[in-house]
Amino acid sequence: MDWKKLELEDRNIIQEYLDGKFETSDLNFSNIFLWSISEDMQYRIMDDILYIKGSYEGNDYYFCPVSKEDRKDSIIEAIKKIKKENKEIVFIPEKYAEFLQRDVQLIEKRSSFDYVYLQEDLAELKGRKFSSKKNKINKFIRTYSYTYEKISKLNIEEIRIFQREWTKNRKQDKIIISETMGIEALLDNYEALGLRGGIIRVEGEIVAYAFGEKLTENMAVIHIEKGNNEYQGSYQMINKYVAKEEFFDVKYINREDDFGSEGLREAKLSYQPIILLKKYNI
């Protein structure tokens, strides 16, 4: 088939190749769909291999090609075809790296590593290692009259408004603007994408929200988490509540990568990940 622009209608086709296979945050339809608007995501299927490509700041790149039947030889051949185009291949998971390293040179990308946590740790914050998180949560509870509720069609429009306000003072950040475009698309198709999430309100107003989905039987991923910094503890509250209320049926939660941001890296490390999922580029 020829290259096709990636749209919601393609979800079932893409899911046949990705669903339940990967614990990394990138190789799932919702994440790819999120960035499809700003990075012109396209896909094609040839010889039972899924190819996805995008464009960032004028440079084309490929996602790691995926074999429907996990045939290693097919994946290696697909990568060789892409290499002939002299394009970068990104987000190669560890399980592919193990057999690819014999044939291609892999570059470890620390800024793309995913942070994985025990669901119980995020939901319960037990032990001294989480004392600073609990202190912020306790202060939030003492200070504000708050409620938690699930994301649904009843509050999605309010979340959209909150996200636009959150973005207003960050319009110089191209990544934030691109992400916000993608968030709008995810909210437009929230139920169709099988997303789960929640919001924290203070006196009726949204101060934080987050949502994600199940990746595998034991792993969930949080795609988006936003809070109003004027309400200290809002991020800690939404992190805890979404883990506890929406993802009680998994053992692990993937909170995605840090984009190479030192502040984000520090924040994600402070939650004591049990493992960092490595990813590589070619």
User: What is the mean pLDDT, run by run of 10 residues, along the chain of 282 residues?
Assistant: 94 95 96 95 96 93 94 94 94 94 93 98 97 97 98 97 94 89 97 97 98 97 97 98 98 96 96 98 96
Would you say 256 and 179 are in contact if contact means Cβ atoms under 8 Å apart? no
Would you say 106 and 100 are in contact if contact means Cβ atoms under 8 Å apart? yes
Q: Which residue has the tokens 């896909």?
A: 43
Would you say 198 and 241 are in contact if contact means Cβ atoms under 8 Å apart? yes
pLDDT of residue 57: 87
Task: Please indicate whether the domains covering 4-112 and 114-256 agree at the CATH topology level.
Answer: yes
The residues, any chain, with a CB within 8 Å of residue 4's CB and separated by 6 or more, are 10, 42, 43, 44
From residue 11, give the alpha-carbon distance in Å to each of 14, 18, 31, 190, 204.
5, 10, 11, 13, 35
The residues spanned by each domain of the chain are 4-112, 114-256
pLDDT of residue 169: 84
The CATH code for residues 4-112 is: 3.40.630.30
| Angle value at C-alpha 18, between 15 and 23, nearest 5 degrees | 130
pLDDT of residue 122: 98
Which fold, 114-256? Aminopeptidase (3.40.630)
pLDDT of residue 170: 87
Rounded CA-CA distance 56/40 in Å is 8
